[in-house]
Amino acid sequence: MPGSEAQAGFYYQNIVGGHYALDLIEFGSRLRSLTFDNFARAKHIDDIVAEFADRTVFVQVKWAHDDSSAGTKRETVPKTGVKKQP
pLDDT in tens, 37-78: 877 776 666 688 888 899 988 888 776 666 666 555 555 555
The Cβ of residue 39 has, within 10 Å, a number of other Cβ atoms equal to 9
Q: Domain total for the chain?
A: 1
* Bigger pLDDT: 21 vs 6: 21
**Structural domain of 49:** 4-76
Closest CA to 16 of 56, 58, 67: 58
| pLDDT at 54 (0 to 100) | 93
Domain for residue 82, yes or no? no
Q: Are 35 and 69 in contact (CB under 8 A)?
A: no
The Cβ of residue 17 has, within 10 Å, a number of other Cβ atoms equal to 19
Domain for residue 9, yes or no? yes
Domain for residue 86, yes or no? no
pTM, 2 dp: 0.57
Evaluate if residue 26 carries a pLDDT over 90: no
Domain for residue 68, yes or no? yes
Domain for residue 48, yes or no? yes
Mean pLDDT of 4-8: 70
